[in-house]
Amino acid sequence: MDAESYIGHVFKDKELLRTALTHSSYANEKHTKNNERLEFLGDSVLSLIISDYIFHKMRNVNEGDLSKFRATLVCEGSLAEVAKKINLSGLIMLGKGEEMTGGRRRPSVISDAFEAVLGAIYLDSDLETARRWVLRLMTDRIELVLSGGLYADYKTTLQEWVQRDGKSAVTYSTIRTEGSEHSRRFTVQVEINGIPQETASGKSKKEAEQRAAELLLKKLKK
């Protein structure tokens, strides 16, 4: 089965698909274009599609909760899970080093490729085609999140967990910022009473903080 069959879109411009599946590590080795610009575009297209869907679906929900729902749906972990439906990790072209260090299983690599493919579909067709593609893959997950089946505010849960004695304080600090302007990655460290506990990365500080809080909660609950 070829890549288009897995993805579920026949491209008029085959080069768009090839670029969408080209990780920067492979592009550097082969001196070709990578998928970062398409990922930048796909990120915005995805945000619009998800925002429009939940805006009309959840008519009595305030802006803050809509933002939380959207963040849960478009985070790295969520997109990496959705990408399994189209075997996306197996289609990505990686450099030798990235392949050897487990890049094919890395949520950030897979989610970036998912957004790049969406950007490519949008350019190859139109917004309505991109919308149908996203909703075909994500509607079941969207409905689960909106019903409360997946949404978790790990930062709030962690705050409640450590403050049971009324003395512990949770803080977050950004320890590293990487990537180009349109493909930024933040690494955040969570601390309890000033003592470093866990670190995690994400496309935004909020996502990185949530992931760091999730990791620490798992450790504390063992």
Amino acid 207: pLDDT? 82
Annotated active-site residue in 43, 198, 209, 214: 43
Amino acid 136: pLDDT? 97
Strand partners, 191: 171, 196
Amino acid 168: pLDDT? 79
Closest CA to 115 of 41, 204, 166, 167: 41
* Residue 86 near residue 56, CB atoms below 8 Å: no
**Residue keyed to tokens 């949520």:** 107
pLDDT digits over 87-106, tens only? 999 999 999 999 999 989 98
Mean pLDDT of the chain: 90
Q: What angle do CA 33, 10, 46 make, to 5 degrees?
A: 65
Q: Tell me the C-alpha distance between 89 and 203, whole Å.
A: 19
* Residue 33 near residue 119, CB atoms below 8 Å: no
pLDDT digits over 24-54, tens only? 999 999 999 999 999 999 999 999 999 999 9
Amino acid 42: pLDDT? 98
* Residue 80 near residue 107, CB atoms below 8 Å: yes
Q: Tell me the C-alpha distance between 4 and 10, whole Å.
A: 6
Amino acid 161: pLDDT? 81
* Percent of the residues in the chain that have a pLDDT greater than 70, as a whole number: 95
Over 90: is that where the pLDDT of 178 sits?
no
Over 70: is that where the pLDDT of 220 sits?
yes
* From 117-126, 158-167, 178-187, the region with the lowest mean pLDDT: 158-167
* pTM recorded for the entire structure: 0.76
Amino acid 133: pLDDT? 98
Residue 166: phi, psi to the nearest 5?
75, 5
Annotated active-site residue in 39, 76, 115, 198: 115
State mean pLDDT over 120-126. 98
| pLDDT band (50, 70, 90) for residue 118 | very high
State mean pLDDT over 54-69. 91
User: In which element (H, E) is residue 199 found?
Assistant: strand 195-202
Domains annotated for the chain, with CATH where assigned, are 3-146 (1.10.1520.10), 154-220 (3.30.160.20)
Residue 7: phi, psi to the nearest 5?
-70, -35
* Residue 24 near residue 34, CB atoms below 8 Å: yes
Q: Tell me the C-alpha distance between 114 and 92, whole Å.
A: 10
Amino acid 181: pLDDT? 72
Residue 36: phi, psi to the nearest 5?
-65, -40
Look up 115 and say whether it is catalytic: yes
| pLDDT band (50, 70, 90) for residue 150 | low
Give the burial string for 7-28 (b: 16+ CB within 10 Å, else e).
bebebeeeebbbbbbbbbbbbe
